[in-house]
Chain A
Amino acid sequence: MDRRKFIKASLLTSGAIVFGNYSDVYPYNSSSLSSDYDLVAIKGGEPEAMFDKAIASLGGMKNFVKKNQKVVIKPNIGWDVKPELAANTNPKLVAHIIKHCFNAGAKDVYVFDHTCDNWNRCYTNSGIEKAVKDAGGKIVSGESESYYHKVDVKKGKRLTSSKVHELILESDVFINVPILKHHGGGKITAGMKNLMGVVWDRRFWHQNDLHQCIADFATFKKPDLNIVDAYLVMKRNGPRGVSKDDLLTLKSQIISTDILAADTAAAKLFGIDIADVPYINYADELKVGQKDLSKLNINRIIL
């Protein structure tokens, strides 16, 4: 134990010296985009085809990724589960997004998750590691505290600081690619819940009102783009799932720069009452985004 603490301490100390203090990193808004739509919902096609259509209606990936930018993609890779059980984001979709990023001129595309099961196995068995490498992206571990740096969550009610993965802090573009699922404690998981995988200490969230913490963290740094994979949707026994019998093939996708709008739409698609998902309402109170979908310009595409 002592050795471990020593390594940790020395890594952290040197990390602190090298990387400086991340508490000054502010959340920033990235909604200065040239598109008519706030949200695109699409259904009836394969994940890649749906993404092509949806992103095109938002002005293409060029609107989000500029030349030579560093992009980080955060899918859900939380579980050591095969792709067909839909506990993790569809690897094909992740690979396809990476390709779009490179086509838009991205210099590097990084992919990581702070997994729940053993990270090596999650990365391999979810199919995401291979998909990312094949698409030219870089898969990075989320399994070391040395990657995470303390930041302040200034608008947070319960969660006022957190240790966040450096890729989230350093990248120019942050793309959030959750998969829509049932969730034991969170009721459903989509965009905001997926951000639990960019912090080190998740237990704190569970200890201190999970729903409030999810909403609090959404005020820290809003992803530049949220792509909710709702092709295969786990309707019960989430977030890990027990068998294929838990899945419903919805063949849908929701894309928005507004994480709250994306989650609200996802919740409706899932078929749960918004009032039953406390974090969506808490996020609304914190003005994370727009919960009232009627105020948004939505492009609904049925293939």
Chain B
Amino acid sequence: MNVTALKKIRVAVSLLFFLFTISLFLDYRNILPPSVYSKVLFLQFIPSFVKFISIAGLGAIGFIVILLLTLFSGRVYCSSICPLGTLQDVISFLSRILKKKKEKKKREFFRYEKSNNWWRYSFFALAVIPFLSGTIFFINLLDPYSSFGKISAHLFRPLLIIVNNSLAFLFEKMNLYIVYPFEYKGVETFSLLFAFVIFMLVGYLSFTKGRLYCNTVCPVGTLLGLVSKYSFVKIAVDEKSCKSCGICERVCKSNCIDTKKKTVDFDRCVACFNCFDVCPTDGMKFEYGFLSSSKKNQQNIEETRATEREEQISHSKRNFLFNTLVYAVGLTGISLSQIKITPKKKSKVAVFRKNPVTPPGSQSRNNFTQNCTSCHLCVSVCPTQVLQPTYLEYGLLGMFQPRMDFQTGFCNFECKLCGDVCPTSAISPISLETKKLKQLGKAKFVKDNCIVNTENTDCGACSEHCPTKAVNMVPYKNKLVIPEVKDEFCIGCGACEFACPTKPYKAIYVEGNPKHLTAKINKEKKLEQKVDYKEDFPF
């Protein structure tokens, strides 16, 4: 077997996964068919794992495939499938080009470094222990796929939209309407901030240190690292062939090859195969069998553990500080967790929503908040942009999980895309017929805020937008008509709330159902088709 080809295969596979995954988030025109999503994201570890816990099934065994793959040949996921991993490689690659230009001499890109086990297992514990007690929040903060999702959705996607809109503007001046501007409605500040901070952190670490993020912060990396201790095939240094030239060490982005001691710390190895590619003497080899890890390697790891407390790398501190900061800021804002609707002027009755509205297919608030890893894929694909990440609407531990925000849009009656794309079971795919009767909440009419009542003029914007006519206009004084809500037909799509023109408080809003219900079909008698086409016009 030609081992040097392995790197090329790895690069090709990783780019393929990366491009497919990122296009899911960047597809602001909804060009990709919904069926593609589950295929592309099948192997993403955390979403698949979360899905498997709530609905064990063939569609959710992606993480088992990854575990088996790791058990066979190490952390292939990290180098080939994880989009955040490939993003780091891309940044690393760019940094090498830049550094080459700058210094013009051959440079040591990477060097062997000891494992930061204390930080590694602290982050791992931070993800796992709260999860066991039912809180998915810290996994959401640390899951590489979900972080990649937020980075793509809130940083890359808007950039693409800016390019699109600039093009649209240029074409428009030439009277060409080929490219359409996209009305981007923005994103909740905290999610944007989080995406930015994670991107900067990952960017900085990969720019300077290769895959340090994956071997310190990432809980998936740590878990797969633990599994890879028992891998059947391991990468190791061939003591006879190795001349300790150190070339492999310089290309090892996990900093896990020690050429002086001729060891590979395999639980940090992300299986990128760079070392095979550069070794001039066939000094890298595969070791087979579960018992193969050399004593030397073990010793070395133990040595590392002994010294780890002395060495703490600044980024980990930074990350810790960041976590503290998020937590602290969250706490100060906890009193805001009830949602106030639009602050401007005019309408008088303050409106507060007790329950946020969760997307169709999410079944209940509990199911949603327990299973959503906040990758924001649904936020990216939602054609009306009604799905927006939350700040504290679900409470502190639900931060970043999306909700229906009827200030930015309303749920399109004919759409069920969020359920089709969700990689976990937070939003299950449902048929359009089911969706059209899925009651996410009920519209509440606040007469004292209504234009018809306060201004004595007709309006009807709410009823106009209502797809089931649960909001109907009924006679009021002076020949005016005023809305009336029939709960049983309401599906809580929020079209009425979005359309309602009163400020600052809406005269109609949707109160979320903590558990989704089923609405009744609004069936009216068919109109009698008594038309005489030969009869004269009524004018």
Contacts and interface: CB of A to CB of B under 8 A. Distances in A.
A251 B533 CA distance: 8
Contacts of B158: 3
B183 A183 contact: no
B183 A145 contact: yes
Given A118-B384, A210-B460, A1 B189 contact: yes
Nearest to B384: A118
B448 to A, nearest CB: 16
A236 B524 contact: yes
Nearest to B457: A209
Contact of A242 (B169, B177, B412, B469): B469
Interface string B507-539: 000000000000000111111010101101111
Interface stretch (A23-31, A53-61, A91-99, A264-272): A264-272
B539 A44 contact: no
A39 to B, nearest CB: 9
Contacts of A15: 169
Nearest to A247: B527
B279 interface: no
A40 to B, nearest CB: 11
B506 to A, nearest CB: 11
Interface string A235-277: 1111110111111111100000000000011001101000010
A125 B414 contact: yes
Contacts of A2: 186
Given A143-B183, A203-B461, A211-B457, A268 B539 contact: yes
Given A110-B177, A118-B412, A245-B527, A268 B538 contact: yes
A145 B182 CA distance: 10
**Which among A117, A143, A247, A300 has the highest number of chain B CB atoms within 10 Å?**
A117
A185 B460 contact: yes
B536 A300 contact: yes
A267 B525 CA distance: 23
Interface string B435-467: 000000000000000010001011111011111
Interface string A37-51: 000010110000000
B473 A185 contact: yes
B412 A80 contact: yes
B371 interface: no
Contacts of B413: 80, 117
B526 A245 contact: yes
Contacts of A249: 529, 531
A21 B187 CA distance: 32
Contact of B464 (A240, A268, A300): A240
Contacts of B451: 206-207
B184 A118 contact: no
B502 interface: yes
B295 interface: no
B536 A120 contact: no
A251 B177 contact: no
Contacts of A245: 523-527
B457 A240 contact: no
A242 B538 contact: no
A3 B186 contact: yes
A251 B531 contact: yes
DSSP class of A's interface residues: helix, strand, loop or mixed? Answer: mixed
Contacts, number: 176
B463 A117 contact: no
Contacts of B455: 207-209
**Which among B189, B412, B473, B501 has the highest number of chain A CB atoms within 10 Å?**
B501
B489 to A, nearest CB: 9
A302 B383 CA distance: 44
Contact of A240 (B466, B526, B534): B466
A18 B473 contact: no
A43 B539 CA distance: 13
Interface in B173-197: 173, 177, 180-187, 189
A116 interface: yes
Contacts of A141: 177, 180-181
Interface in A121-168: 121, 125, 138-141, 143-147
Nearest to A276: B479
Contacts of B527: 235-236, 245-248
Contact of B501 (A44, A121, A206, A264): A206
Contacts of B525: 245
Contacts of A184: 460, 463-464, 472-473, 481
Contacts of B539: 41, 264-265, 268-269, 293, 298
Contact of A120 (B29, B169, B523): B29
A300 B534 CA distance: 11
Contacts of B501: 203-204, 206-207
A4 B186 contact: yes
B30 interface: yes
B93 to A, nearest CB: 28
Given A116-B464, A121-B415, A185 B481 contact: yes
12 contacts: A15-B169, A43-B533, A80-B413, A184-B464, A185-B459, A206-B459, A207-B451, A212-B457, A240-B464, A246-B524, A249-B529, A302-B533
Nearest first, the 9 A-B pairs at minimum CB distance are A185-B460, A184-B463, A184-B460, A144-B181, A209-B457, A203-B501, A245-B526, A141-B180, A206-B501
Interface of A: 1-4, 7, 11, 14-15, 18, 41, 43-44, 80-81, 110, 116-118, 120-121, 125, 138-141, 143-147, 183-187, 202-204, 206-212, 235-240, 242-251, 264-265, 268-269, 271, 276, 278, 293, 298, 300, 302-303
